[in-house]
Structure 1
Amino acid sequence: MRRAASVLAACVLLALAPAGCGSDNEGDSGAPGVVATGPASSVPATRVPGVSGNVPVNPTPRPRSGTVAVAALGDSITAGTPLYDPDPDVRKQIGDDLDERSQWEYWFTAAHPRYEIRNCGVNGERTDEIARRLQTCAAGAKVLVVQGGINDIAQGRSVEDAARNLRVMYAAGKKLGLDVYGVEVLPWNNGYPQAAPLVTRLNTLLRAAAKAEGVTVFPWYAALEDPENRGRMRAELTIEGNHPTVAGYKKLAEAMELP
């Protein structure tokens, strides 16, 4: 098992296609209910060979003097959907509704200005697709925050495979010398009730994977779950049943503590 994990980690570090990392299906990035136009950070988008679409990451990051560079790697929840996105083309599509507060990165840096967060969120990506961008996103960073998994569920993928991909990313980040952190998958109102046990199962598996790699996982699920409607986000904290409101993203930031 350890040898298999190290082989997968090496695969991520080489930025191979998903087929080389134990997945032989690309899948589309338009999972119903999970993929939406969204917002994220002010980092310019660039095109990375082998990855479709614009990747919101600066390949040669230059953090401000005295700041701690954090790479935030994930899907639309990292990007800040539906009111923000790190891709300037997506931000143009959002138009007048654009709101930079619609991302956990905004709230975290507002409360902790010594951090400079690079938003590498891409709407609709599964964990295997997110893994392909790890090395580029993490270049020059000290801290890596890994988020993902809901699109695997939305696209009918195995939660065991998703947890395995997350563990690979945890291990790969540590191999790069980064302080690595994970986050829980959020409740998915529009997928309820069918998706609820899958989300719970994936969170159990990813916490076990993180523990095995010595990685802290932030309690995002609990931060947004409705205590009176278990398995769903509180109504006031989700904008359309898939993604958090501005207040919801603030709650996610408050549930985090970086070194």
Structure 2
Amino acid sequence: MKSKFLFFILLISACNLFAQVQNADSLNNKPKKENFADDWAALTKYQKENELLPLPNRKEKRVVFLGSSIFEFWKQKDPEYFTKNPYLDRGISGQISPQLLIRFRQDVINLKPKVVIILAGSNDIAGNTGHVTIDKIMDNIKSMAELARLHHIKVILCKYLPVYEYPWNKNIKAADIIVNLNEKIAAYAKDRNYTILDYWTPLVDDRKGQRAELTIDGVHPNLAGYKIMEEVTDAAVKKALKSRH
């Protein structure tokens, strides 16, 4: 009887030990969280949405908005603008122009739009990452525009919204730098017969910043600012669709 009891105790101990080993193994072997550190341009943000998106029909005049927070926040502030029009918002907050260039095939070309609106340069100027010159910004804008034309997508290049200073980096004298960038964008667009979309003029105040009643922080528009942008955007889209280039 004593030997049976001892065997029973040993059996329970063995079972407990086995369970502990199993638990330890399950903890050690649990699936690792996928590492997206190599996705510098955040291609994963719109990947699934793009995959579910049907190709445009013959009558659809699809327009892709490619940019950073100005475009991303636009859809949040006025979602109806994008649902009532054949407009696809592909803005990602904080992105600089080389990231937009990397995303260009997935988030523009593959979606088969008639028109792409390219708004780039502000985050580069703000010094979000590294030291970027106006010429380097223009190189990325030119590459995107050339890719679009190669794929028979009409190009709209934007004169950037006015910014007097960036709240997160007040050392940057943004106003005149953005004026300089806009002059180069406008000259390039004229030379290549791209449509220019001027967001700067209708929003600017007397110190080359955004009008206080149209912005939430001097950089991003409020709903009233976006409503003004919608008017000039629709006009530019109509012009681009009529153009031969």
Question: Does 1:148 pair with 2:120?
Answer: yes
Q: How does 1:205-216 map to 2 (within 5 A)?
A: 205-216=184-195
Following superposition, the deviation at residue 80 of structure 1 comes to 1.6
Evaluate the alpha carbon distance shift between residue 63 and residue 189 of structure 1 in structure 2; reply closer, same or farther with a 3 A threshold.
farther
> Equivalents in 1 of 2:198, 2:142: separation in Å?
17
Q: What is the alpha-carbon root mean square deviation over aligned residues?
A: 2.5
What is the distance in 2 between the residues matched to 1:143 and 1:51?
Answer: 26
Aligned counterpart in structure 2 of residue 68 of structure 1, from 49, 61, 68: 61
Structure with the greater alpha carbon radius of gyration: 2
* 2:46 matched residue in structure 1: 56
More helix by share: 2
CA distance in 1, matches of 2:196, 2:97: 16
Structure 2 unaligned segments of length 5 or more: list them: 1-35
Superposed, 1:105-120 pairs within 5 Å as: 106-107=80-81, 109=82, 113=84, 115-120=85-90
Contact in 2 for aligned 1:56/1:119 (Cα 8 Å): no
TM-score, with structure 2 as normaliser? 0.69
Segments of structure 1 that go 5 or more residues without pairing to the other structure are 1-46, 85-98
Instruction: Give 1:78's match in structure 2, choosing from 59, 71, 84.
Output: 71
Give me the whole-angstrom Cα distance separating, in 2, the residues matched to 1:63 and 1:253: 25
Paired letter, 2:192: E
Which of the pair has the greater relative contact order for Cα pairs under 8 Å at 6+ separation? 1
Give per-residue Cα distances to partners, 1:83-107, cap 9 Å, x unaligned: x5xxxxxxxxxxxxxx441x7xx43
Count of matched residue positions in the alignment of Structure 1 and Structure 2:
188
Q: Which residue of 1 aligns with 2:222?
A: 245
Please say if 1:186 is aligned against 2:161. yes
Q: How does 1:1-259 map to 2 (within 5 A)?
A: 50-53=39-42, 54-56=44-46, 58-60=49-51, 61-62=53-54, 66-80=59-73, 99-101=76-78, 106-107=80-81, 109=82, 113=84, 115-138=85-108, 139=110, 140-155=112-127, 156-191=131-166, 194-226=173-205, 229-256=206-233, 257=235, 258=237, 259=241
Identity of aligned residues (%): 24
